[in-house]
Amino acid sequence: MSEQTVPSRATVVVIGAGIVGNCLVGHLSRLGWTDMVLLDKGPLPNPGGSTGHASNFIFPTDHNKEMAFLTVESQNQYIAHGLNNTCGGIEVAREPQRMEEFQRRMTSATAWGIDARLVTPAEIKEMVPFINDEILLGGYYTPSVSVVDSLATGTLMREGAVAAGHLSVFANTEVLDLETTDVPGGLPKITAVVTDKGRIEAEHVVVACGVWSPRIAAMAGATIPLTPAVHQMADVGPIDVLVESNQELAYPIVRDMDTFCYERQSAGSMEVGSYAHRPILMRPDDIPSNEASALTPTELPLTYDDFEPQMEQAIELMEMLGDAEIKYAINGLLSLTPDANPVLGETVEVRNLWSAAAVWIKEGPGIAQLVAEWMTYGYPHMCDPHGSDISRFYPHEKTEWHINARCNEHFNKTYGIVHPREQWASQRGIRRSPFYAREEALGAVFFDARGWERPQWYESNAELMEKYPEACEPRTHEWDARWWSPITNAEHLQMRASVGMVDLTAFNEFDFEGPGALGFLQYMCVNNVDVAVGRSVYTPLLTPHGGFRGDLTIQRLGDDHFRVITGAFDGGRDNYWFRKHLPTDGSVTFTDRSQGICTVGVWGPNAAATMAKIVTDHTTAPYDLSQEGFPYGAVRDVIIDGVPCTMFRISYVGENGWEIYTRMEHGLKLWDAIWEAGQEFEICPVGIGVYAVTGRIEKGYRLMGAELESEYDPVEAGLARPKVKSADFLGKEAYLKAREEGPAAIMCTLSMDSQRCADGYDRFPTGGNEPILTLTGERILDAKGRVSRVTTAGAGPSVGKYLLMAYLPPEHAVEGTKLQVMYMNERYPVTVERAGATPLFDPADARMKS
């Protein structure tokens, strides 16, 4: 190390001066951070990361709400800097399925308020005269598509922070180490960044290093799960028609969706990029240094063998490209993550070490603001980072093995048509419950739940469809029927008619023990957890500004012993949230018991009769399973066919019954005992299709990540209790304010009055953010600017209706109100069935308590 030329101390050190790091220091400066350092190993303004070679265009339409919001927000920030060049963009279709995807894109564009329209090949030809319209079926045109100047925007943001006196910038400065200090009873905390120009003590460190992020985070013992991957791009020209336009961007950008390629004018030449080649993944340590790179470290030589098929397709689309010279061609590196979402937030391993990685140009400035808010307020205000939260990953999802397998699988889906229920093909069978062998024998169709194999439905129940023929009609359109089976509806009705059993092993169980456990959980939870031993409580967890951060149930197993039960999809996030806030004085211990516990749910009118045959106490005496002896919400230790179990009288499907937990090694015995006892009642193995969709939606139960997001509060979700507990809790102030102000939107259950499409058959929305429209076709925004959209959709076999859940502003959230839903660019009439949490099915909850 040479002499110290960097400051010896800073509040925050941001590593990486790409689009994210630059915009982050700008936003942090605006939010009042006054003592920052920004480092990069490379030179400025282009340090050599992915930002420097990005094609820089923005197509705003995204089916994912979080990414659509952040993209539009980012585009607005580029516009505010005057660095957004609007040229329009056309996604073109060569295949019929793509034309259907465009109907879906029109639907998402309507939801997010993006101007877009479908265009014919002739209209495309008019906008792009050099395109071969004969091979096209049509297009999806978005006038607001633009090319931005990400380097200049980053420079402005960075220089703004410097001008404010809040930031020192050090280019050509290499990070050698990240130092942490152990915190007794807590997570280690970041303390310093060691560079080749000196050591900087820092309270916060942000890794915004793009493809190098995993390597930098590892210096502190933290994991940022992403892999560098190649995106091929060539600049060809000069081309007369483009030169003669005398403009940087005279023609709309063309995305040739079915060949996974794009053609984007760059003054006199055309940039041709591809996501069609074989996935080419690298390790961060294998990326050359700035010195060893002919261009920059992330601009590697194009491997022509991989690119040649795309050249043929490009020439087919635009013949003039064939005779243009290839002036610049790269294997450009970008970051891929196992689920294709960014990796944002505080690392789960090291306090105050933040990740702002795997971010594209199109969403960079918005995500920088989101991370800045997160660091400033404890959680972002602008939108819920649910899908990008770094704490979502389970341990097996952070291995290079998993990252590579999933990235290899999804790379070619970058321009693909991805179904909302689409299942992964790779990395399956990673986590299996003890019931797996039985389920497999019953013809279970397994869906992936963060590595867990969960039966979605059972082919063995196909016969049941004959019992409930009217509820088990096949779906006409392949899209609606994809990753779905009418067997789910038969399972649903059989459970409601008799009894069903559901594998819930994917649940997470966290134990909190010690004299501080009650106080800690009171602080974390909205509802009063100071209940009697053997009782339970459902509660939201709030962000500091009063939005949903989680929702779960807590069982009180002893005076100083509580157990949290939470779902597979949010287990990682909840685990992190609790541990982040855990006191370090040793008064509370946290133990993740998820790996050791399996769970089966038994529900239906015959659940009690089934269980009565096999449940005893420790003396072999029959156990009192009556509602009086074992009321709703109670938790009891029992013996089932010799196996020590815990039974919890609760239901997410609206039937009497229990979640039954036992240790993994007892699982098979428990399953067999219930299965055998239930035979006289024709017990039915029931899949997650019922548990998570049909059973849940009939009861209007909300799901974290769907209905419950940080953008909404418990009052709006209909989950506010009549009274607020006296104890202080996280988000209380905001929650009290929300109760006082009343909801700007109310969670509603709607039914479709007709599902008949223009082609004369019924359609079935998937619950993928389909917009709710007024009768005149206007999208609906509430007073806070949030759009009404479908958060969950599914059949209600017991109510005979196809149901949707959506937040509606109070003026529309009135039972009986007629509205419309858009699905695949067609409108269907809907009726508001329920405003608030009252279930459509069994509104008094009598079945669960009888």
Structure tokens at 94: 């060569």
The nearer residue to other proteins, 322 or 558, going by C-beta atoms, is 322
Closest CB to other proteins among residues 311, 336:
311
Per CB under 8 A, 324 contacts other proteins: yes
d(CA 621, CA 617): 6
* Helix, strand or coil, per DSSP, at residue 304: helix
Task: Give the SS3 label for residue 819.
Answer: strand
From the CB of 389, what's the least distance to other proteins, in Å? Answer: 35
Among 240, 323, 422, 624, binds other proteins (CB under 8 A): 323
Instruction: State the minimum distance, in angstroms, from the CB of residue 270 to other proteins.
Output: 10
- Of the candidate spans 82-90, 275-283, 324-332, 828-836, the one that interacts with other proteins by CB under 8 A turns out to be 324-332
**Distance in angstroms (rounded) separating the CA atoms of residues 59 and 665:** 51
Using the contact rule CB under 8 A, the part of the chain among 163-171, 205-213, 245-253, 320-328 near other proteins is 320-328
Rounded to whole angstroms, the Cα distance separating 201 from 193 reads: 6
CB of 357 to other proteins, least distance (A): 23
CA distances from 488 to 443, 445, 452, 680, 835 (A): 13, 11, 19, 22, 26
* Contact (CB, 8 A) for 735 and 713: yes
Q: What are phi and psi of 308, to 5 degrees?
A: -60, -40
- Candidate list 285, 312, 400, 530; residue touching other proteins; CB under 8 A: 312
What would the x/- binding string for other proteins be over residues 270 to 289, using CB under 8 A? ------------------x-
Among 134, 291, 466, 740, binds other proteins (CB under 8 A): 291
- Nearer to other proteins (CB atom), residue 312 or residue 422: 312
Please give the Cα distance from 244 to 254 (Å, whole number): 19
Complex with other proteins: residue 234 or 568, whichever CB lies closer: 234
User: 118 pairs with which residues across the strands?
Assistant: 140
Taking the least distance from each CB to other proteins, the nearer of 28 and 317 is 317
Token pair 């140009």 in the structure block, residue:
361
Cα angle for residues 372, 167, 40 (degrees, 5° grid) = 85
In this chain, which stretch among 297-305, 746-754, 797-805, 817-825 interacts with other proteins, using CB under 8 A?
297-305
According to DSSP, residue 694 is labeled I
Least spacing, CB of residue 278 vs other proteins, in Å: 17
DSSP per-residue letters across 112-159: HT---EEE-HHHHHHHSTTS-GGG--EEEEETT-EEE-HHHHHHHHHH
Q: Find out whether the peptide bond into 238 is cis, omega within 30 degrees of 0.
A: yes
The correct pick among 327, 618, 784, 818 for binding other proteins (CB under 8 A) is 327
For residue 165, state whether it binds other proteins (rule: CB under 8 A). no
- Determine the interface stretch with other proteins among 89-97, 321-329, 395-403, 619-627 (rule: CB under 8 A): 321-329
Q: Which stretch binds other proteins (CB under 8 A): 244-252, 309-317, 437-445, 633-641?
A: 309-317
Name the residue nearer to other proteins (CB basis): 292 or 621.
292
Among 46, 168, 293, 587, binds other proteins (CB under 8 A): 293
Strands 508-513 and 444-449: unpaired
CB 752 → other proteins: shortest distance, Å? 50
Determine, following the binding rule CB under 8 A, whether residue 295 of this chain makes contact with other proteins: yes
> Cβ 305 to other proteins, closest distance in Å?
9
Q: How far is the CB of 333 from other proteins (least distance, A)?
A: 12
Query: CB-wise, 327 or 849, nearer to other proteins?
Result: 327
Nearer to other proteins, 292 or 532 (CB): 292
Question: Which one among 109, 321, 353, 717 touches other proteins, defined by CB under 8 A?
Answer: 321
Q: Taking a C-beta distance cutoff of 8 angstroms, is the pair 37, 195 a contact?
A: no
CA 332-335-340 angle, to 5 degrees, is 130
* Alpha carbons 691 and 699: distance in angstroms, whole number: 11
Type of residue at 129: P
Binding of other proteins at residue 333 (CB under 8 A)?
no
Any residues with CB less than 8 A from the CB of 480 and at least 6 apart, and which?
Answer: 763, 764, 766
Phi first, then psi: give them for residue 770, nearest 5 degrees.
-65, 130
* Closer residue to other proteins (CB): 323 or 400: 323
Assess contact for 652 and 701: CB atoms under 8 A: yes
Name the residue with tokens 């990252």: 403
Give least dist CB 201 to other proteins, A: 26
Is 292 one of the binding residues for other proteins (CB under 8 A)?
yes
The CB-of-325 to other proteins minimum distance in angstroms stands at: 4
In the complex, the smallest distance separating the C-beta of residue 448 from other proteins, rounded to whole angstroms, is 37
The DSSP secondary-structure symbol of 147 reads E
Q: Would you count residue 470 as binding other proteins (CB under 8 A)?
A: no
CB of 285 to other proteins, least distance (A): 11
Using CB under 8 A, pick the residue from 129, 322, 515, 631 that binds other proteins.
322
Rounded-to-integer distance, Cα 338 and Cα 342, Å = 10
Cα(59)–Cα(275) distance, rounded to whole angstroms?
15
Tell me how far, at minimum, the Cβ of 242 lies from other proteins, in Å: 15
Q: How many residues bind other proteins, per CB under 8 A?
A: 23
DSSP letter at 623 equals: P
Q: Are 110 and 27 in contact (CB under 8 A)?
A: no
Q: How far is Cα 715 from Cα 721, in angstroms, rounded to an integer?
A: 9
* Both structure tokens of 190: 């970041």
Does residue 330 contact residue 232 with C-beta atoms inside 8 Å? yes
**Which residues between 122 and 141 bind other proteins (CB under 8 A)?**
none
788, 807 Cβ separation under 8 angstroms? yes
How near is the Cβ of 206 to other proteins at its closest, in Å? 27
Among residues 114, 205, 314, 356, the one that binds other proteins under rule CB under 8 A: 314
Candidates 98-106, 179-187, 293-301, 797-805: pick the segment binding other proteins (CB under 8 A): 293-301
Q: Decide: 195 and 2 in contact? Cβ < 8 Å.
A: no
Residues in 216-245 at the binding interface with other proteins, rule: CB under 8 A: 234, 236
> Out of 44, 315, 609, 668, which residue is the one contacting other proteins (CB under 8 A)?
315
Scanning 311-319, 464-472, 771-779, 813-821 for contacts with other proteins by CB under 8 A, the matching segment is 311-319
Distance CA 16, CA 466 (A): 61
Is residue 20 within the footprint of other proteins (CB under 8 A)? no
What phi, psi does 124 have (nearest 5°)? -60, -45
CB of 221 to other proteins, least distance (A): 28
Residue 850 exposed, middle or buried by CB count within 10 Å (0-12, 13-18, 19+):
exposed
Say which DSSP state 164 is in: T
Q: DSSP labels for 700-725?
A: T---BTTTB-TTS-HHHHT---SS--
Interacting stretch for other proteins, rule CB under 8 A, among 17-25, 312-320, 480-488, 507-515?
Answer: 312-320
Q: Could you tell me the smallest distance in angstroms from the CB atom of residue 61 to other proteins? A: 29
User: Segment near other proteins (CB under 8 A), from 31-39, 322-330, 526-534, 576-584?
Assistant: 322-330
Dihedral over Cα of 576, 190, 546, 69: its sign: negative
Q: How far is the CB of 22 from other proteins (least distance, A)?
A: 21
* 109 closest CA partner among 160, 63, 175, 50: 63
Tokens 């923005």 belong to 58
Binding window for other proteins (CB under 8 A); candidates: 310-318, 398-406, 419-427, 552-560 = 310-318
Select from 250-258, 306-314, 374-382, 675-683 the region that touches other proteins (CB under 8 A).
Answer: 306-314
Q: Which residues in this chain contact other proteins in the complex, by CB under 8 A?
A: 234, 236, 288, 291-295, 300-301, 304, 308, 311-312, 314-315, 321-327
